[in-house]
Structure 1
């Protein structure tokens, strides 16, 4: 039976860096945010989103993520509504993906809101990637070309590191790249044995 290992962390913590290392070691990795974006572009999903949020979030029949983000990250109820549309679709897609990778010893499901969405319940073990908040903010500002206020809004909509750590089986502290890679390599060996 293929084990499902959840990989989570706050925005800018370095989940993608850790996920890429696992991929380089041959582990199938499912990037939930990336798959959710693809699912949101499907016409059937887009219809559900516009039914809920209106056509103003579209530009030439294409979803304008920035407009949608401006709505949902300022309003927890609207964010919850969007998640109630997207999460069941992502869950179904993930289950199909696990079936396709059933020969693997374990797979990684990388999701920023693994706990918030409830999808941690489907995982056998959970890895939390952590980094001090000021470092995370700086990384996101450099990476996304966004402003401080919008980064803080997103952080406020996610669990804290302390909350994630309390519910995780493994912690990877991502401060310095080489050290982070070493932590992943050690954990990879441990997960292969279990």
Structure 2
């Protein structure tokens, strides 16, 4: 089984690319979705988060807006939150992988894959990227997003250029969506036919479409 790490900075289109992998029959573990489940009403993490950050939960579970305000810009608070969340997400990821013994390829969709050292535990990394102006427009169009909040989020993420440099495969979402989907399809087909080492060499030779640096 080939385990791909899927990552990309905020607003780069990673979620859309994850759907494209699913369209080709590739199971995807969505780390963000796992966090949402764990923090929803009755979720396993709600009591611990309320204890660490009083007033950030309610009948619907964790209030992500309140929790975000409690940790954004405060490294110590963010570290406390991560110490609660990350072990639970890791356990969910292990459960997912244990249930995929019949799959030839699986994807781990993890926003901070490089930042938290997760790249070492996958067979190859797929980085989703787009031009900075496209990213900027996408993110600032989100409800409640401000330029200051966007800057604060970016400060927690590895620069896009560094992610691109470390990628085994790059998927460009700054092009027409049909072309992005074609690149995902080409990658899945190559991996199924030849495996990671061959496909990584193909990518370096541009046999598998790879957007320019």
What secondary structure does 2:25 align onto? Answer: coil
1:13-32 correspondence runs (5 A): 13-32=12-31
Change in 2 beyond 3 A, CA 1:189/1:37? same
Name whichever of 16-25 and 143-152 sits farther off: 143-152
Cα distance in 2, alignment partners of residues 152 and 144 from structure 1:
16
What is the aligned residue count? Answer: 192
* Residue 180 (structure 1) shift: 1.1
* Residue 60 (structure 1) shift: 4.1
Provide TM-score, normalisation by structure 2.
0.84
1:186 paired with 2:192, answer no
Computing the radius of gyration from Cα coordinates, the structure with the larger value is 2
Cα distance in 1, alignment partners of residues 158 and 114 from structure 2:
8
1:1-194 correspondence runs (5 A): 2-41=1-40, 42-54=42-54, 56-60=55-59, 62-176=61-175, 177-193=177-193, 194=195
What secondary structure does 1:4 align onto? Answer: strand
Provide TM-score, normalisation by structure 1.
0.91
Cα distance in 2, alignment partners of residues 82 and 132 from structure 1:
31
> Relative contact order: is structure 1 or structure 2 higher (C-alpha 8 Å, sep ≥ 6)?
1
* Residue 43 (structure 1) shift: 4.5
Change in 2 beyond 3 A, CA 1:44/1:17? closer
Cα distance in 2, alignment partners of residues 11 and 24 from structure 1:
22
* Structure 1 residues without counterparts, runs of 5 or longer: none
* Structure 2 residues without counterparts, runs of 5 or longer: 196-213
Cα distance in 2, alignment partners of residues 105 and 186 from structure 1:
16
What secondary structure does 2:140 align onto? Answer: helix
* Residue 69 (structure 1) shift: 0.6
Q: Would you say the 8 A contact 2:4–2:124 is kept in 1?
A: yes
* Residue 122 (structure 1) shift: 1.8
What secondary structure does 2:45 align onto? Answer: helix
Hey, which of these two has a bigger chunk of helix by percent?
Answer: 1
Q: Would you say the 8 A contact 1:87–1:117 is kept in 2?
A: no
